[in-house]
Structure 1
């Protein structure tokens, strides 16, 4: 499995789909500018690596496409990189190579000095001798700056502070919804349901840190034994379905009380939950990847017709993720952050154009074919650009 920045187009724990697995595979495959056909012989040769050393690559190689067949001769897992001699840049990687396994380490290099670096799971780090590459090559991989987990400490703290600061507004909006239901004012409840739901959706990247609370607060009926009729279904979507499909007021009141209780519990529990540094950069892509399927696809519409409002909230969540990632993202691709912010702002304007002056959102099912194609296509293009973020910010300790 190999990777290279910005070469591969292609949310979160609630609806984690095959899309995340695909992104991870592509994120690895994207750090190489070469695809080696089966049986194709490329300069490089075989490398056997272990705790004693990181193989013996040729001292000289021609510029162009290169491939090393790397075998892990140690008893622990290893990450293998092509790096600059000082280790400041990496040009290709095998993220995880098991004991006695062999994988290709392929890339395209122009003239200069390089080395192979091996990082073993027991903490051992070894670097090969320098490899002198002669000549020039078109399509050569631009080196990327490796990222350590420690560099993500600041962004993770900043994002957790954002979520913590948002809890009071979320809880207040949900209590307003509960009060509407308690007095049987379903018209007000429909309006306030959307306000509260969007407060939650704007949290964006935090869902993976919410554990089972997210299922209780924002879980869909998919996979439940009785679908939308499952008694154990709770949260915003269960309330949406009930409000727009004539559920008994007593049932809606029960769901409202449970939702407030779950959000209170989540707020109390969140300080004790961990946020994986590697998750944050993935959410920069996942939030809107899921939105493409569930919001634009209409799957997450249980009667309110407000999935475009949710998409708008998801855009805001993505913008916040990029904001906290800026200190580590900008040094690795100075133009990417500005480009993404511009595209997100433009797409947000496009989405909100489907909200009336009175604040009513057009249901996805009422968009005409050209409007759907434009929304889908523009989001697809945006996702291709957002895929560069996890590719650049995958933690690569000691690369």
Structure 2
């Protein structure tokens, strides 16, 4: 009986699976992705060939280990290419990239491949010179011999410029600086709200509640950096024992429920005073909290994902009927994230910036059209079918286009 293979070290965290549709945007909310398609699989992740292409005819098996990055054929015909990459090492995980000869652009990748497992590396190549690059978890880096591709191919992958690990530092710093500048504004708003309730002026409190709540909702990408403060400041009643009657429910949503359900100032004051306390502590604590660089591209679409589910759906409405105003604040928050990421997006997919700006402008116009003649807001549940469909469709299109960012800007070590 042969000796069993040793157990490999635990796998590095592979991150979320993602899809990048390439530099050309495809119109239509449910349009098929063009160009590169990235999908996680059990043993790693491979880059699938674009839909509608004929079966790949070049490539073949490719065994990699810490001594070599495979031995691909030196010449191939342009068109679909399919490698089956096997990590032949015993303990080292590997990231595999199909790059141009200079390593400036990536045309296919397997983010993580586990030892003794295989995964597909599929793409479509135009004429040119390419190579396979392997980056192992033990720090070893190998590049294959060059591959010359000749001929013509339709639907060839445009490739993308990889994002170095440290490239996200400047956007994260810029975004955190913006958030730090907005937290004092938020604190001023909640103090004004608390003052209204302390005086018993609940009419002013309803007006100032909305101002403060929107100030908070514009900070959408920072929620994970807020830790437990997010639930304290803006947590919903869902999942709490007793729901809206839960004694532990605090924050903007709890104040909203009280203001629009007949609670008196004596019952509201403990909530607004607690809100001031929590926002004060949040402002003080934020500089010591970390922001995961990978969070920023992800939040760019998750902000609107939550807006679509909770705000447009109306489940986050605790009586004020202003969830569409919150959608507008979420759109503004999304713009701030995109603005911070623009220096990384522009050289990799300039058309995406134009597309996303157009999407957000259209969604903004949809939301603005939901204002009432008196300057108030139409409750989301009261929208007529046509207007709801328009808002839903345009938010959905923005969400689809923004969903390209996590894949486009995922850090690729030594790609």
TM over 0.5: yes
How far has the Cα of 1:72 moved from its partner?
1.6
User: Contact 2:83 / 2:122 at 8 angstroms: preserved in 1?
Assistant: yes
Q: 1:275 aligns with which of 287, 291, 315?
A: 291
The equivalent of 1:177 in structure 2 is 193
* Structure 1: runs of 5+ lacking an equivalent: 10-22
The equivalent of 1:252 in structure 2 is 268
| Alignment of 1:383 onto 2:399 | yes
CA distance in 2: counterparts of 1:164 and 1:273, whole angstroms: 12
Q: 2:314 aligns with which of 298, 306, 311?
A: 298
CA distance in 2: counterparts of 1:299 and 1:123, whole angstroms: 48
Please give the root-mean-square deviation of Cα atoms over the aligned residues, in Å: 2.4
The equivalent of 2:343 in structure 1 is 327
| Alignment of 1:108 onto 2:121 | no
Q: Mark the CA change 1:183 to 1:82 in structure 2 (over 3 Å): closer, same or farther.
A: same
Map 1:193-204 → 2, pairs under 5 A: 193-204=209-220
- Structure number with the bigger relative contact order (C-alpha 8 A, sep ≥ 6) is 1
Map 1:1-399 → 2, pairs under 5 A: 4-6=20-22, 32-34=48-50, 42-74=57-89, 75-399=91-415
Secondary structure of the corresponding residue to residue 67 of structure 2: coil
CA distance in 1: counterparts of 2:395 and 2:144, whole angstroms: 43
Q: Mark the CA change 1:3 to 1:361 in structure 2 (over 3 Å): closer, same or farther.
A: closer
Secondary structure of the corresponding residue to residue 381 of structure 1: helix
How far has the Cα of 1:251 moved from its partner?
3.2
How far has the Cα of 1:204 moved from its partner?
2.2
Secondary structure of the corresponding residue to residue 111 of structure 2: strand
1:170-225 per-residue CA deviation (whole Å, 9 max, x = no partner) reads: 00000011111222222211111110000001112111111111111111122222
Secondary structure of the corresponding residue to residue 277 of structure 1: coil
Q: Mark the CA change 1:225 to 1:248 in structure 2 (over 3 Å): closer, same or farther.
A: same
Q: Which has the larger radius of gyration?
A: 2
How far has the Cα of 1:271 moved from its partner?
0.6
* Structure 2: runs of 5+ lacking an equivalent: 1-16, 27-36
User: Contact 1:83 / 1:91 at 8 angstroms: preserved in 2?
Assistant: yes
**Normalized per residue, which structure has more helix?**
1
How far has the Cα of 1:338 moved from its partner?
2.5
TM-score, with normalisation over the residues of structure 1?
0.90
How far has the Cα of 1:329 moved from its partner?
0.9
